[in-house]
Amino acid sequence: MRLIFLGPPGAGKGTQARELAREWGVPQVSTGDMLREAVAAGTPLGREAKRIMETGALVPDEVMIGLIADRLRQPDAASGFILDGFPRTIAQAEALERLLKDLGQSLDGVVFFDVAEPELLRRLTGRRLCRQCQTAFHVTSAPPQREGVCDRCGGELYQRDDDSEATVRHRLGVYARQTAPLLDYYRGRGLLTSVKGEGAIGTIREAIQRAVEGR
């Protein structure tokens, strides 16, 4: 099972990748989470990434390609993975193709999460995340039982710095210019499946399962 979850910020890639990776017994490889861990640890990569992430721009391709090459060479990714947030540019997609070829692997599919822009804005600006388990909540449509506390693990909920309205608008523009061209790239390779990313989380998960099993 080697999959890419592709879509704009706020489309639900992380939420679905976390649950399906657990179910399928493969790692969820989220480059956003990897960068946020580097920021929290204060590593040189974290210091460089922090500045860029705060503006909503993309971290340079060479940095991201190096990061993903190290990650996919780890033993736990040998029998599969769900990529969440990578690739985000054509150069990253081309590098991934070369890397998988070197590893003697190939992609099984790319799932595109189709969500309208007003819904993305609503989701991102109201999003709260658990610091420990990364579970996502929403201030109005999916609030936790106790304000500020994760229902799943009791961790503290926080708002990402880049989920402010101005930065979200910038991130959506970056997505449209730099990442959306990947739809044609993967469609042309016969790998793309589109899933409607609006509705109940469980219904979307079932649609992804059907799409992946149908391949």
**Catalytic residue numbers, as ranges:** 13, 88, 127, 160, 171
Nearest residue to 82 via CA among 73, 74, 72: 72
Q: Which of 32, 38, 136, 172 binds ligand AMP (CB under 6 A)?
A: 32
DSSP 130: E
Beta sheet of 192-196, edge-to-edge order = 28-30, 81-84, 2-6, 109-114, 192-196
Decide whether 114 or 147 has the Cβ nearer to ligand AMP: 114
Residue 85 in contact with ligand AMP, rule: CB under 6 A: yes
Decide whether 54 or 206 has the Cβ nearer to ligand AMP: 54
Residue 197's SS3 state is coil
Question: Which residue's Cβ has the minimum distance to ligand AMP?
Answer: 32
Write down the H helix ranges in 25-115: 31-41, 44-55, 61-72, 90-102
Decide whether 18 or 171 has the Cβ nearer to ligand AMP: 171
Q: Which of 7, 56, 109, 197 binds ligand AMP (CB under 6 A)?
A: 56
Partnered with residue 113 across adjacent β-strands are: 195
Main-chain phi, psi angles of 149, to 5 degrees = -125, 135
Residue 69 in contact with ligand AMP, rule: CB under 6 A: no
Write out the two tokens for 65.
């390609």
DSSP 15: H
String of contacts with ligand AMP for each residue 102-141, x by CB under 6 A: ----------------------------------------
Nearest residue to 59 via CA among 84, 79, 40, 32: 32
Partnered with residue 6 across adjacent β-strands are: 112
Decide whether 86 or 113 has the Cβ nearer to ligand AMP: 86
Decide whether 15 or 31 has the Cβ nearer to ligand AMP: 31
Residue 35 in contact with ligand AMP, rule: CB under 6 A: yes
How many residues touch ligand AMP under the rule CB under 6 A: the total is 17
From residue 69, alpha-carbon distances to 2, 98, 115, 174 in Å are 15, 10, 29, 23
Which is it for strands 157-158 and 127-130: parallel, antiparallel or unpaired?
A: antiparallel
Residue 7 in contact with ligand AMP, rule: CB under 6 A: no
Residue 59 in contact with ligand AMP, rule: CB under 6 A: yes
Residue 157 in contact with ligand AMP, rule: CB under 6 A: no
Positions touching ligand AMP (CB under 6 A) are: 9, 31-32, 35, 52-53, 56-59, 64, 85-86, 88, 92, 162, 171
